[in-house]
Structure 1
Amino acid sequence: MNPVMTALRAGWSRGLIELRQSFTNAQDLFGQLFWPVVLLVTLFFMRGAQVPTGGMVLGAMVLPSLLGMNIIFYGMLAIAQLLTVEREDGTLLRAKAIPNGMLGYLFGKLVTVSGGLIINVVILLIAGSFFVDGLAVPGVGSWLMLAGVLVLGMVATLPLGAVFGALITNPRSLGLLMLPMMGLVAISGIFYPITALAPWLQWLAQVFPIYWLALGMRSAMLPDGAAAAEIGQSWRHLETIGVLGAWAIVGLILAPIVLRRMARRESGSSVAERREKAMQRVG
């Protein structure tokens, strides 16, 4: 059997096992459900407000935006955290010692994170639809658009999460990644129309994928009239595909290079050194 296919099959099995364990272990289950519950509570308090432009209910606009934001926060941060933590405890070193072990390991993590992300999106979509009015009646085109944005968003963000996970050497430094991401949330039209911001902030937000993920989700779930609150009063489908596709290409090019470099630098002595530092912090 092809060794690459063997590694991918092993990664697939490992990813499914880890995904199942994350929903059967109380601590992991809390971590899986905490973020969707926080977003649903936020959505509940927004359900009655109105958007000044377009006459939309704010909650209806925010729900699809939260789905797009969730792809960034859950997908990117989850895989970055897994890589940094498991590099520190020696899991990556053990995977490196097996032929094609790194390939199987990374594919397994992608399966785990992608599966958890899809479950999170389903939870938000189903539970959130009970809180807000004004969503478009789901049709085949809407479901296809939602699924397409979800898949393209994962391809655009998961490799970037792997890059950050490979570059960040200390799990406690992941908090530094949250600061710029929260800043992007503030200017990307997640909780209010982006057209209310200064033009230069609008241009800055459009450089990064979070705005386009939220826009793509809104285009799939909101009626056509809601586009009046968007830039150019349009859903800009081609631009969404173009920007997310560009980020996907960047991530897919950078991730293998950065991860191979990280794997080459892993050794028993480096793992022992990190473990010793961790024990000193605990002591």
Structure 2
Amino acid sequence: MSTTTPAQQRVSATGPLPGTLRLGLARTRYEVRGFFRERDAVIFIFAYPVIMLAIFATVFGQDGNSIDFGDSSVPFAQYFLPGMIATGVMLSSFQNLAIAIAVERDEGGLKRLRATPLPAASYFVGKIGQVLVSCVLQVTILLLVAALAFDVPMPDSSAAWATFAWVLLLGTATGAVCGVAFSSVPRSGRSASAVVTPIVLVLQFISGVFFQFDQLPSWMQQVASVFPLKWMAQGMRSVFLPDEAAALEVSGTWQHGAIAAVLLAWLVVGLVLGARWFRWRRRDDG
């Protein structure tokens, strides 16, 4: 049985479609333009981690307070920066897509799009491409603010920047794929924000974003270890904190292998669930 839509069959009669990747890149440009037209969402997604970094660095860093790691110490702005990078990625990927796709479905946009010749894979490439662009811009702004406003030192080795790159890219891909899969959970576009936002907030509080992870209750650390945000934050801490800080992690090491394994596992889970449960129509539309 053919899996092509009627629109794709009509186009194939007049000539071949451009490749899936080429259409995906074109869709990425479309999604990026649409994203930046939503100015309130853009301001929130870009400003939130910067504002939270400023608040925590100011409140906890009064009178020159710092966090000690045995023979070394770091200011609170430097300690909280990795968590803010991780939570910014989660906002731009998981939360943004889970809500935006649910709204598109509720408004009938996905149903209309499915009737066009655009392959489904190109649509998802466009969404992930938009998330990657917004994440790179968001993290760049956050690093500039941290360096210029709070004197946070940047990594001085290529190995640290390589770790930063793979944690950022893998975390972004995982968050985006999970966001696509989770977008089918809200019953409507109106309820999407109410369903997604509390989950993101809870994960931020238990994953070492707002507090030192080693000071959280052990049961909370165990729960957080199931989800990718904790591992993204830990990976970023390995980039921006001194080696001595690894002693405060649960295992006493940075666990780069475990970070990659957990993020990849969630990437696969998101792909499987998305392929199985993703809906192009509203629940009441067949």
State the TM-score, normalized to the length of structure 1: 0.83
Residue 36 of structure 1: how far off its partner (Å): 3.0
Offset of residue 21 of structure 1: 4.8
Mean Cα deviation higher: 241-250 or 205-214: 241-250
Aligned counterpart, 1:31 = 41
Task: For residue 192 of structure 1, report the CA deviation from its aligned partner.
Answer: 2.1
Tell me, in whole angstroms, the C-alpha distance in 1 between the residues paired with 2:224 and 2:270: 19
Aligned AA (1:233): G
Counterpart Cα distance in 1 of 2:245 and 2:188: 43
Contact 1:69 1:210 in 2 (8 A): yes
2:4 paired residue number: none
Q: CA–CA distance in 1 between the matches of 2:182 and 2:213? A: 27
**Aligned pair partner of 1:158 in 176, 194, 217:** 176
Matching residue within 207, 218, 221 for 1:188 = 207
Letter in 2 for 1:12: L
> 2:249 and 2:282 mapped to 1: Cα distance?
47
| Residue 285 (structure 2) aligned to one of 240, 255, 270 | 270
Asked if residue 105 in structure 1 is aligned to residue 123 in structure 2, the reply is yes
- Report the RMSD for the aligned CA atoms in angstroms: 2.5
Q: Deviations over 1:172-200 (max 9, x none)?
A: 22222221321121111112221112211
* CA–CA distance in structure 1, aligned partners of residues 189 and 148 of structure 2: 37
With over 3 angstroms needed to count, the CA separation of the structure-2 counterparts of 1:217 and 1:77, relative to structure 1, is same
Cα distance between partner residues in 2 of 1:177 and 1:21: 21
- Contact persistence 1:44–1:131 (CA under 8 A): no
Q: Match of 2:74, SS?
A: coil
Say if 2:105 is the partner of 1:90.
no
The structural deviation recorded for 1:84 is: 1.1
What is the rounded CA distance, in whole Å, between the counterparts of 1:72 and 1:177 in structure 2? 11
**SS state of the match for residue 130, structure 1?**
helix
SS in 2 for 1:51: strand
Q: In structure 2, do the counterparts of structure 1 residues 177 and 221 end up closer, same or farther at CA, with 3 Å as the change threshold?
A: same
Which residue number corresponds to residue 208 of structure 1? 227
> Residues 135 and 229 (structure 1 numbering): CA distance in 2 closer, same or farther, change over 3 Å?
farther
Secondary structure class of the residue paired with 1:235 = coil
Match of 2:56 among 37, 46, 53: 46
Going by fraction, where is helix more abundant, 1 or 2? Answer: 1
| Structure 1 residues not aligned, in runs of 5+ | 272-283
Identity %: 30
Query: Where do 1:92-241 residues align within 5 Å?
Result: 92-133=110-151, 135-174=153-192, 175-241=194-260
The count of corresponding residues between Structure 1 and Structure 2 is 264
CA contact (8 A) 1:136 1:222 kept: no
The equivalent of 1:19 in structure 2 is: 32
